Amino acid sequence: MFKKLAVVLVAAFCVLLAVPTMSPKLAPYFPSWIGPVPLGLDLKGGAQLLLEVDTATMLQEKTEQLYEETRSALIDREKGVIRFSGLRNADGVVSFVVRDENQVSDAKGRLRRVLGNVVDITSDGKTVSLSYSDEQKQEMIQDALARSIEIVRRRIDALGTKEPSIQSQGGKYILVQLPGVDNPERIKELIGQTAKMTFHLVNENVSQEQIASGRAPNGTEFLPYMDMPWQMVPVYSRVEVSGDSLKDSQADFDQHNMPVVSTVFDAAGARRFAKLTTEHVNERFAIVLDGKVLSAPVIREPIPGGRGQISGGFGLQEAKDLAVLLRSGALPAPLQVIEERTVGAGLGADTIAGGKIGAVAGIIFIFLFLFMVYRGFGVIAGISLMVNLGMIVGLTALFGATLTLPGIAGIVLTLGMAVDANVLPFERIRDEIRAGTPSLRAVNLGFDRAMKAVLDGNLTTLICGLVLFQFGAGPIRGFAVTLSIGILTTLFTCVWLTKALVDWYMNGKNKKIGFVGGKK
């Protein structure tokens, strides 16, 4: 008795989870963790963006970074300068010539200690070459794709966009689906920015004539102001503090009630920032974002706490957007929007309305069929099917899975299999009673002997659903999720719930079963 009661309570709880979806007006009366099923792009409408990760630019930047790290390692005075010439970066290979042949092994050993095992280091006589192998490049591309997906997700979540779907496609593409978003321009602008922030000292020895000529001295580059692109700032190429050390950023107001972005560095970044502001008081330093100068303030006093402010004459919304970008981290590679689609909400609303009509009509016909063929047992089977549908919707909502058109197809397929799972025991019961078995024992034997076929059919389908979820993407995954949930709820309702209801119907007695010609 306790087992049957537990089955009914579990079923009732799962159906209760579906109430906010079935009747949104009742949703406010439920706890916050019980909400309606999120609808996908094809049902709710919204925007879809296909982004391409610019891996070629990323690999080029990696090689340029390798060039700078090689140069710094060779001229490190603390470890001893290695005399070299002809340091160059060409076709993804960094190479140089060691002047003293006896220092070739020292140069290779030092570079190996600094760069680790992520770079191939070879030598031919006095020429040393550094490059990334094809395998290393592929690992960097996969890492860039995974990091880009996570950063895009953090940026979109920070904007409050509900139920976004973000997933990889084809090795270097990211598919972003934004249900309910009809104007994706602001989101495109945010997720498309690399958000690479660096701090550089300003070269005050450069004259306006040099800036006008466009010829920058060695170790210096001319970067434009973000809000005044015609005005150039001469900054040293060396990065004093990297945005990678940034721990947090928030939009705030300064003492003049102007929007600013407050920044907090981690321990290592705070030490570098304190060193920079201590050694260069009364000098200017530039805050650079994606190759453009946000501001170039004068260091009035040392800033030892690792906290600072970025001001650039921007509005409150621009400050909030910049804080989101910096807080979510810099993209490892630029992203290009190569395809954009907008789906109207009207199409999804028509689909949902048509689906409701079809569902009601299908349920009525199934109930009539089950009742005409199996009488009272058919009513029990119909109740189990309704509970099964409620459990599928409730568990889908609980797991936060997004419901799409393929997902609805998975539910329909599952319910069709559930009808079969309920019918099989009834047919076995019919065979047992025709063989002369008392009705009460026939019920037990019918369920026991039908379970093997029910389990075989549903478990093999469940395996297919799990494989589709693992290797599929987009709509295929939506289909696999509802199919898998439906298989589990079907087994629960058929194996335990229907049997419990039939046992209560029989009440321990050999009652007449109408669908087998009135025999007991």
* Long-range contacts, 68-74 (Cβ 8 Å, 24+): 69/114, 69/115, 70/94, 70/96, 70/111, 70/115, 70/130, 73/110, 73/111, 73/114, 73/115, 74/107, 74/110, 74/111
- Residue 16: pLDDT band (50, 70, 90) is very high
Q: Boundaries of CATH 1.20.1640.10 in the chain?
A: 2-43+345-516
Q: So what's the pLDDT on residue 416? A: 85
Residue 135 has pLDDT above 50, yes or no: yes
How high does pLDDT run on average in the chain?
83
pLDDT tens for 73-103 read 888 767 777 888 998 888 889 999 998 888 8
**Which of 128-137, 151-160, 235-244, 358-367 comes out lowest in average pLDDT?**
151-160
- Residue 336: pLDDT band (50, 70, 90) is confident
**Which of 229-243, 257-271, 490-504 comes out lowest in average pLDDT?**
257-271
Q: So what's the pLDDT on residue 519? A: 46
The class level of CATH for 2-43+345-516 reads: mainly alpha
**What mean pLDDT is predicted for residues 496-520?**
76
Residue 306 has pLDDT above 60, yes or no: yes
Q: Boundaries of CATH 3.30.1360.200 in the chain?
A: 193-340
- Residue 182: pLDDT band (50, 70, 90) is low
SS3 per-residue string spanning 9-52: HHHHHHHHHCHHHHCHHHHHHCCCCCCCCCECHHHHCEEEEEEE
Residue 185 has pLDDT above 80, yes or no: no
Percentage of the chain beyond pLDDT 70 is 92
What is the phi-psi region of residue 291: left when phi exceeds 0, alpha when psi lies from -120 to 50, beta otherwise? left
Q: So what's the pLDDT on residue 81? A: 77
pLDDT tens for 378-390 read 899 999 999 999 9
* pTM recorded for the entire structure: 0.59
Domain 193-340 has CATH 3.30.1360.200: yes
Sign of CA dihedral 180, 185, 190, 194: positive
More confident residue, 327 or 496: 496
Q: Looking up tokens 């409408």, which residue turns up?
A: 45
**Which of 169-183, 280-294, 448-462 comes out lowest in average pLDDT?**
169-183
Q: So what's the pLDDT on residue 194? A: 65
Q: So what's the pLDDT on residue 518? A: 45
Distance CA 265, CA 216 (A): 31
Evaluate whether 118 touches 137 at the Cβ level (below 8 Å): no
Q: 396 to each of 100, 156, 363, 506, how far by Cα in Å?
A: 69, 23, 20, 34
CATH architecture assignment, domain 55-137: 2-Layer Sandwich (3.30)
Q: Boundaries of CATH 3.30.1240 in the chain?
A: 55-137
